[in-house]
Amino acid sequence: MALSSFSFKGAGGFKKFAKDLEKLGPKTKSTTVPTMMDILAAKILNFAKEKVPVRTGALRASGRIEDVHSKTRRVVAFGGAGTQVMYAAVVEYGRTAFAPMAPQPYLRPAVIKTMRVVKPELKRSLEDSLKYMNRRYGSGGV
């Protein structure tokens, strides 16, 4: 089912909608967005850990979601300071100098896979929200 438009059922539908929005308040965005970001970051990390090449397991074990003190940003990282794994970028992008090594991407494919998986889920969630809004506040749309 395609996403569609939405219309309120008279002034009463809009007033009811406005009252519900007031109840939710500004806190809704501050809790919903970080939760979605955490879910996306966890999916990316899990897919990357499935894809990362394993020789000793250290690179896979170094995968983590870093705390960047942001409500709208997450960092999924492998290797780096404090992990004893300084070759994560070499595995992801390859190397031409010293001992040449072909790239073995694991993080970029994980991001792409996550977007493919999440896009239909997000679309379904938005459609369900529109259906609910139509039942509760209006008559048009979905």
Strand, helix or coil at 1?
coil
Q: Is 10 left (phi over 0), alpha (psi -120 to 50) or beta?
A: left
Query: Number of H helices and number of E strands within the chain?
Result: 5, 2
CA nearest neighbour of 17 among 3, 28, 27, 7: 7
pLDDT at 76 over 80: yes
pLDDT recorded at residue 142: 44
Whether 85 contacts 58, CB under 8 Å: yes
Q: What is the pLDDT of residues 101-132, one digit of tens each?
A: 999 999 999 999 999 998 888 888 878 877 88
Q: What is the pLDDT of residues 51-71, one digit of tens each?
A: 999 999 999 999 999 989 888
Would you list the DSSP string of 71-131? SS--EEE-SBTTTTB--HHHHHH-B-SSS-B-----HHHHHHHHHHHHHHHHHHHHHHHHH
The band of 93, judged by pLDDT with boundaries at 50, 70 and 90, is: very high
pTM attached to this predicted model: 0.70
Structure tokens at 38: 């955490």
**If you average pLDDT over every residue of the chain, what do you get?**
83
User: Rounded CA gap, 123 and 60, in Å?
Assistant: 31
Question: Quick count: other Cβ atoms within 10 Å of Cβ 28?
Answer: 11
Q: What is the pLDDT of residues 14-58, one digit of tens each?
A: 677 667 666 666 666 566 667 888 889 999 999 999 999 999 999
% of the chain with per-residue pLDDT over 90: 48
